[in-house]
Amino acid sequence: MAISAPYLPDLESIDPSLDLIEEIHRLRKVRKALILAHYYQEPEIQDLADFVGDSLQLSQQAAKTDAEVIAFCGVHFMAETAKILSPGKKVVIPDMDAGCSLADRCPADQFGEWLKQFPDHEVVSYINCSAGVKALSTIICTSSNAVRVVESIPAHKQIVFAPDRHLGRWVMKQTGRDMALWPGFCIVHEQFTAKRVAAMKVRHPDAKLIAHPECEATVSQMADFVGSTAALLNFVAKDPAKAFIVATEAGILHQMKQRRPDAELIPAPADSGCNCSLCPYMKLNTIEKLYLALRDLRPEITLDEELRRRALVPVERMLALG
Ligand code: 13P
Ligand code: SF4
C-alpha cells in the first residue's frame, strides 16, 4: 500500500500579488468557515478571527457553531477538541506541527500504564492533552474551570490530575483536595522564575503581578491574581491599577492593550535566551498558512470514530458544568 507523505503548507504556491487578508475574508464566506483564534495567536490572526478566546470559550464555540468548516488558529489539542465536539465539520489548522509540551509529553499509552497505580481514582485531565488521554479521563477541565471541575467530584473520591503539575498544585491549594499529579509542564510558563519576576516587581513597585496557573508555584504565590487567559484579560480590564506585570504568553497583550490603552502592560521576563515568553507552537500559525488552510482545506484534523466517542464523554461532562 502506498504511504502518503505528510502534508506541508506549500508557501511557494501563494501568488505574491494577493492581498491575503482580503483573500481570507473571501474564502471564509466561500467555505462557510468559522475562524477561531486563541489569545496566544499573532495579532493579525486575532484581528481577523470570528472569535478570540481561551481554551474553554473556544471549545464552547466549536460545539455550537453551524459553520461547515472550522479553521482553528491554536494548537493541535484545541483543534482536535473541536473535532471531538463537531465530528460532522471539517476542522483545519494552519500548521499541523503546532503541538503543546503538555500534550506531547503525556502519551496515552504511558498515561494508561501510569493510571494502573490508581485504580479507584477519578481522572481529571487538563484539556491540553491528546484525544487518547481524554478517552482515559473521567472529566476534562481547562484553566478557567479546573477548580469547579475538581469541586464537582464527590469529596470521598480520590483524584488523579494530568498533565500539568503546576495547574494541579494550584488547584490543590484552591480546593484543599489532595491529587496524584502527572509530572507535565508548559515550556513557556516554566520560563518565568520567582527571582526574575521579583526583580521586575522591584523595578515596577506599583504594578500588579498577574499569572497563569501553568506558572510554577513560586511565581503564582507572588501574584496579585492567578487565572486563565480570559480571566487575566478580564482582571486587567476591570482593575484600577495602572500597570500590570503579565506572567503568561505575550500574545495576550494584544487584547489587553485594546481593553486598557491607558495601562502599562509589562510582559514578565522569561529565563530563556531570547527573553521573549512566546509559545513556539502557537507561533507556527501564520496568515499565509491560514490562507492555505482555507484555500486547500488542509491540513485536516481526523480522528478514529471509536476514539472520538470515548474522548467526547469527559469533554461533555465538563461542558455540562457550564
Ligand atoms: P487557557 O486555558 O487560559 O486558554 O490557556 C491554555 C493554554 O495554555 C493555551 O496554550
Ligand atoms: Fe502548550 Fe504552553 Fe504553548 Fe500553551 S503555551 S500551547 S500550554 S506549550
Q: Is 248 near ligand 1, meaning CB less than 6 Å away? A: no
Which-ligand-closest: CA of 285? Answer: 2
* Assigned domain for 118 exists: yes
**Residues 123 and 179 grouped into a single domain:** yes
Spacing, Cα 20 to ligand 2 middle (Å): 27
How far is it, in rounded angstroms, from Cα 202 to Cα 238? Answer: 24
How far is it, in rounded angstroms, from Cα 126 to Cα 130? Answer: 10
**Residues 132 and 194 grouped into a single domain:** no
Q: Is 159 near ligand 2, meaning CB less than 6 Å away? A: no
**Residues 81 and 114 grouped into a single domain:** no
Which residue, of 185, 217, 239, is where some domain finishes? 185
CB proximity list for 55: less than 8 A, separation 6 or greater: 38, 74, 78, 81, 127, 128, 142, 143, 144, 228
Q: What is the pLDDT of residue 271?
A: 76
Q: What is the pLDDT of residue 5?
A: 76
**Atom 1 of ligand 2, residue of closest alpha carbon:** 100
Buried-exposed string 231-261: b where 16+ CB fall within 10 A, e elsewhere: bbbebbeeeeeeebbbbbbbbbbbbbeeebe
Q: Is 175 near ligand 1, meaning CB less than 6 Å away? A: no
Q: Is 127 near ligand 2, meaning CB less than 6 Å away? A: no
**Residues 132 and 167 grouped into a single domain:** yes
Q: What is the pLDDT of residue 8?
A: 87
* Assigned domain for 5 exists: no
Domain that holds residue 212: 189-267
Q: From residue 219, how far is each of 18, 178, 195, 230 by CA, in Å? A: 45, 21, 9, 19
**Residues 216 and 250 grouped into a single domain:** yes
Spacing, Cα 58 to ligand 1 middle (Å): 10
- What pTM value is reported for the model? 0.95
Given the CA of residue 186, which atom of ligand 1 is nearest to it? Answer: 8
CB proximity list for 117: less than 8 A, separation 6 or greater: 180
* Assigned domain for 40 exists: yes
Question: CATH no. for residue 179?
Answer: 3.40.50.10800
Which residue, of 223, 244, 267, is where some domain finishes? 267
**Residues 90 and 125 grouped into a single domain:** no
**Residues 113 and 179 grouped into a single domain:** yes
Q: From residue 87, how far is each of 53, 244, 321 by CA, in Å? A: 21, 41, 22
- Look at the chain and report how many structural domains it folds into: 3
- Extract the residue ranges of the chain whose pLDDT is less than 50: none
Give the strand order in the sheet containing 264-267. Answer: 225-226, 208-211, 243-247, 264-267
Q: Is 311 near ligand 2, meaning CB less than 6 Å away? A: no
How far is it, in rounded angstroms, from Cα 206 to Cα 253? Answer: 19
**Residues 263 and 296 grouped into a single domain:** no
> For 23, phi and psi rounded to 5 degrees?
-65, -40
Spacing, Cα 39 to ligand 1 middle (Å): 8
Q: What is the pLDDT of residue 230?
A: 94
Q: Which of 214, 246, 318 to mutate to test the pocket of ligand 1 (most atoms within 8 A of CB)?
A: 214
**Residues 219 and 173 grouped into a single domain:** no
* Assigned domain for 194 exists: yes
Q: What is the pLDDT of residue 2?
A: 66
Q: What is the pLDDT of residue 1?
A: 59
Q: What is the pLDDT of residue 297?
A: 97
Which cell numbers in the block locate residue 122? 477519578
* Assigned domain for 72 exists: yes
* Assigned domain for 18 exists: yes
* Assigned domain for 74 exists: yes
Instruction: State the helix-helix crossing angle for 305-320 and 55-64, rounded to 10 degrees.
Output: 110
**Atom 5 of ligand 2, residue of closest alpha carbon:** 279
- Please calculate the CA angle 50-54-59 and round it to the nearest 5 degrees: 70
**Residues 48 and 79 grouped into a single domain:** yes
Q: Which of 40, 101, 102, 185 to mutate to test the pocket of ligand 1 (most atoms within 8 A of CB)?
A: 40
* Assigned domain for 274 exists: no
Spacing, Cα 54 to ligand 1 middle (Å): 6
Spacing, Cα 101 to ligand 2 middle (Å): 6
Are the C-beta atoms of residues 40 and 249 closer than 8 Å to each other?
A: yes
**Residues 257 and 195 grouped into a single domain:** yes
